[in-house]
């Protein structure tokens, strides 16, 4: 194999992590600090108004329908999903869709922790989707819109019935702001600031439809609920959560950072611009995949491919023939070489996923940086093969 020369052009920003993700173009700490209420109580007038503003601007940016509640909750997207599951599940049968690690985690919680009596786990391997037609109309369903660790997403919500009896609980953490969400089909939507908007970790967003609120106010689970999970008091929704009165103390620095990202999104054209940037990034990466013989998208079905957390498999016959440990060692060699050159950081596949690369293409990444990365991927593959041949 001819060893290619080291590429001359480097990505200006080498952050391609799938969470926390790259900051917005032009981000600066000074811009964030200038917005932050540091050393202040989050219950004071200014900080509380900022929290409420972030909620309202999030709803406007995402096009959340009137009547839905949007709140800031602790513990990132995980906390938001857990709040919904522990507070709402048990009133009806439950179907859990699992095709990557986070969906599998929700399934474990439902079966082993909540011990739900009528709970089905509908699974599929990494890179594919389960049979969505198996979801029962009378059951609540928990699913990830975009599988962050597998790169597979639901192409749409056509499989969800408009007249469903059950609730839909959607983990949209790597889909929100990058993929269109069918709001009338979704009752609970969760995400974190650290994905498409490039915000800091530890805070999640919880969006409830009127049907979800009705469930909360009519269903009292028999299980104990920690304070951090409680969304009702005296049988009524705690409305303050959705007006900036957070359950626990938020980081006002993280709030300011998210507000900074929102302001950038508004300036560049809102949701259409955010989705357009992610689509352009993915298109550049996938075009390279299509013309490169040693790599393929882990997701075979084009309509199911993520435009944010793109997962790639090495299909070169020599490397694909290795056992799992050998494939992971090869990928590690590639990733280490790229990191050493400072051109790509944190692009190893998720630890539970098949061996491969995972490259974030969300809206805060510039397409020029994706394009600059591509020759480096070829270089790293050749370098790792050369190293392996010499061993």
pLDDT at position 1 is 47
Stretches where the chain sits below pLDDT 50 are 1
Of 32, 79, 63, whose CA–CA distance to 199 is shortest?
32
* CATH T-level fold of 29-266: 3.40.640
Provide CATH 3.40.640.10 ranges for the chain.
29-266
Residue 300 CB: number of other CB atoms within 10 A? 12
**Res 289: pLDDT:** 98
The reported pLDDT for the residue numbered 231 is: 98
pTM > 0.95: yes
Contact 192, 362 (CB under 8 A): no
CATH 3.90.1150.10 assigned to domain 270-390? The reply is yes
Q: How far apart are CA 357 and CA 347, in angstroms?
A: 6
CATH 3.90.1150.10 in the chain is located at 270-390
Beta bridge partners of 94: 119, 140
């Amino acid at each position: 194999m001819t060893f290619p020369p080291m590429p001359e052009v480097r990505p200006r920003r080498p952050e391609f992590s799938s969470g926390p993700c790259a900051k917005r173009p032009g981000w600066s700490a000074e811009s964030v600090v200038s917005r932050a209420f540091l050393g202040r109580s989050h219950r004071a007038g200014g900080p509380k108004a900022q929290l409420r503003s972030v909620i309202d601007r999030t709803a406007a940016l995402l096009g959340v329908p009137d009547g839905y509640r949007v709140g800031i909750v602790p513990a990132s997207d995980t906390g938001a999903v857990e709040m919904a599951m522990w507070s709402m599940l048990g009133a009806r049968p439950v179907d859990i869709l699992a095709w990557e690690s986070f969906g599998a985690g929700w399934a474990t919680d439902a079966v082993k922790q909540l011990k739900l009596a009528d709970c089905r786990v509908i699974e599929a391997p990494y890179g594919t989707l389960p049979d969505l037609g198996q979801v029962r109309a009378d059951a609540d369903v928990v699913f990830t819109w975009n599988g962050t660790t597998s790169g597979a997403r639901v192409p749409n919500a056509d499989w969800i019935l408009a007249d469903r009896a059950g609730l839909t609980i959607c983990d949209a953490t790597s889909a929100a702001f990058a993929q269109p969400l069918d709001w009338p089909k979704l009752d609970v939507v969760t995400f974190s600031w650290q994905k498409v908007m490039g915000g800091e970790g530890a805070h999640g967003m919880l969006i409830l439809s009127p049907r979800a609120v009705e469930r909360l106010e009519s269903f009292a689970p028999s299980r104990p609920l920690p304070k951090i999970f409680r969304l009702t008091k005296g049988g009524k929704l705690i409305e303050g959560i959705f007006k900036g009165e957070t359950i626990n103390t938020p980081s006002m620095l993280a709030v300011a950072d998210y507000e900074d990202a929102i302001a950038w999104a508004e300036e560049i054209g809102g949701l259409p611009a955010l989705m357009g940037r992610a689509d352009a990034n993915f298109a550049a990466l996938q075009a390279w995949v299509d013309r490169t013989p040693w790599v393929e998208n882990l997701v075979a079905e084009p309509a199911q491919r993520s435009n944010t957390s793109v997962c790639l498999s090495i299909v070169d016959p020599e490397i694909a023939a290795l056992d799992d440990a050998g494939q992971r060692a090869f990928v590690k060699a590639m990733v280490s070489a790229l990191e050493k050159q400072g051109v790509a950081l944190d692009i190893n596949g998720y630890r539970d996923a098949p061996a491969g690369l995972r490259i974030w293409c969300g809206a805060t990444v510039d397409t020029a940086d994706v394009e600059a990365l591509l020759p480096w991927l070829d270089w790293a593959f050749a370098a790792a093969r050369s190293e392996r041949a010499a061993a």
